[in-house]
């Protein structure tokens, strides 16, 4: 803050000795200095506002029109009628419930599984590096590829691996008609969730493992010498230490899974009550061509997200302060 050299990137440069002391440079008013501090930030900020915020303003405007792209001549101002139809829209309401359920299930299950895996991986054993590499493979598949893999190579009722293994085991034990479930149509929600949990557990594991490895080991040794059991150490030392990492994993996981499109789009095509919000809005504008309604739905989703995100951000911001106060 005391060095105003960055303050005026365009000037020809007074001697550095003068520049080192802002009080001896009265020609640079405070405001100019503040702007110069801001200057490096501006390109990123302006770019981000232009590309992410302006479209939302446009969405807001479009949402007030009755606009179907197949009938471009009938476009007219419709006030809030798109909102009333969006609020009373059964499909939209269902997709909100679906989104919440899908996100909560996937995040909770993958955090719990990820924690168990991280605890396993925190021990030394032969081939630990290889096992870690094996565990993160699911996260490194392109999401569409992973969804295709689950849909066609694993879930397919005729030649998918799951039913293949079932009939193979059936043969082995002499069962005549081994069960051959239609995975996707019998349990669509579970099918989508399983593939996402498989992809996101490694992510949670990696973050939690990094957290575990940053544990103060002396404290754990001391607790052990004082006769603390493994469970007590986990409950009173490890878990509190991991809190930040658990919250971070949950937050980041939620951000990405709320917006999931690939798995729903590929595995069920939004059918069978698995259409989440991103898919429903995509459907409304891409296939039904209802621009006004899709936009109203989009605005409602944004409002809902802002409410939830405010809480989420409060969590991060408390972590952030903790971090800052420690530094």
Partner 1 sequence: MTSLTATAPVTSVPPAARKARRRGAALGLLAWLTGIVFVLPVAWMLLTSFHSEADAATNPPSLAAPLTLDGYREFFGVNGGADPWPPLLNSLGASLFSTLFVLVLALPAAYALSIRPVRKWTDVMFFFLSTKMLPVVAGLLPVYLFAKNTGFLDNIWLLVILYTSMNLPIAVWMMQSFLSDIPVSIIEAAQMDGAKLPTVLLRVVAPIAGPGIAATSLICFIFSWNELLFANVLTGVVAQTAPAFLTSFVTSQGLFLAQVCAASIVISLPVLAAGFAAQDKLVQGLSLGAVK
- Residue 202, interface with partner 1 (CB under 8 A)? yes
State CA 185 to chain mean position distance: 26
Among 65, 83, 183, 265, binds partner 1 (CB under 8 A): 265
Adjacent-strand bridge partners of 77: 65
Q: Which is nearer to partner 1, 26 or 307 (CB)?
A: 307
- Residue 3, interface with partner 1 (CB under 8 A)? yes
CA nearest 27: which of 42, 49, 40, 11? 11
Asked if 2 contacts 22 with a C-beta cutoff of 8 angstroms, the reply is yes
- Residue 313, interface with partner 1 (CB under 8 A)? yes
Residues 37-56 that bind partner 1 (CB under 8 A): 37-41, 43-45, 47-48, 51-56
- Residue 245, interface with partner 1 (CB under 8 A)? yes
Q: Which is nearer to partner 1, 121 or 184 (CB)?
A: 121
Residues 98-157 that bind partner 1 (CB under 8 A): 117, 120-121, 123-128, 130-146, 148-150, 152-154, 156
Q: Which is nearer to partner 1, 170 or 187 (CB)?
A: 170
Residues 282-301 that bind partner 1 (CB under 8 A): 282, 285-286, 291, 294-295, 298-299, 301
Q: Which is nearer to partner 1, 105 or 296 (CB)?
A: 296
Residue by residue, DSSP assigns 265-326 as IIIITTTTTT--HHHHHHHHHHTS-BHHHHHHHHHHHHHHHHHHHHHHHHHHHHHHHHHHHH
Q: Give dist(CA 320, CA 304) in Å, integer.
A: 24
CA nearest 139: which of 161, 175, 104, 113? 113
Among 68, 81, 85, 259, binds partner 1 (CB under 8 A): 259
Asked if 178 contacts 206 with a C-beta cutoff of 8 angstroms, the reply is no
* Closest distance to partner 1 from the beta carbon of 16 (Å): 5
* Phi and psi torsions of 176, nearest 5°: -70, -50
């Amino acid at each position: 803050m005391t060095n105003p050299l960055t303050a005026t990137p365009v000037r020809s440069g007074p001697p550095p000795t003068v520049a080192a002391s802002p009080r001896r440079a009265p020609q640079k008013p405070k405001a100019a200095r503040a702007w110069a501090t801001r200057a490096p930030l501006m390109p990123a900020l302006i770019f981000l506002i232009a590309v992410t915020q302006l479209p939302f303003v446009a969405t807001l405007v479009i949402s007030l029109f009755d606009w179907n792209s197949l009938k471009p001549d009938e476009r007219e101002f419709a006030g809030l009628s798109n909102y009333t139809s969006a609020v009373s829209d059964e499909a939209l309401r269902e997709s909100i419930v679906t989104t919440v359920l899908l996100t909560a299930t996937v995040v909770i299950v993958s955090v719990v599984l990820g924690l168990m895996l991280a605890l396993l991986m925190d021990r030394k054993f032969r081939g630990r590096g290889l096992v870690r590499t094996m565990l993160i493979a699911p996260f490194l598949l392109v999401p569409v590829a992973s969804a295709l893999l689950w849909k066609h190579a694993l879930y397919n009722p005729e030649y998918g691996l799951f039913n293949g293994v079932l009939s193979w085991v059936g043969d082995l034990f002499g069962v005549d008609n081994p069960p051959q479930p239609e995975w996707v149509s019998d349990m669509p929600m579970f099918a989508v969730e399983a593939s996402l949990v498989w992809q996101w557990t490694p992510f949670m594991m990696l973050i939690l493992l990094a957290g575990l490895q940053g544990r103060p080991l002396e404290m754990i040794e001391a607790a052990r010498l004082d006769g603390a059991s493994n469970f007590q150490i986990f409950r009173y030392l490890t878990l509190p230490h991991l809190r930040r990492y658990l919250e971070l994993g949950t937050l980041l996981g939620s951000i990405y899974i709320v917006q999931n499109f690939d798995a729903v789009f590929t595995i069920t095509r939004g059918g069978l009550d698995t259409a989440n919000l991103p898919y429903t809005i995509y459907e409304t504008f891409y296939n039904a061509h209802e621009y006004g309604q899709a936009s109203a739905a989009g605005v409602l989703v944004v409002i809902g997200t802002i409410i939830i995100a405010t809480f989420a951000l409060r969590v991060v911001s408390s972590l952030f302060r903790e971090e800052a106060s420690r530094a």
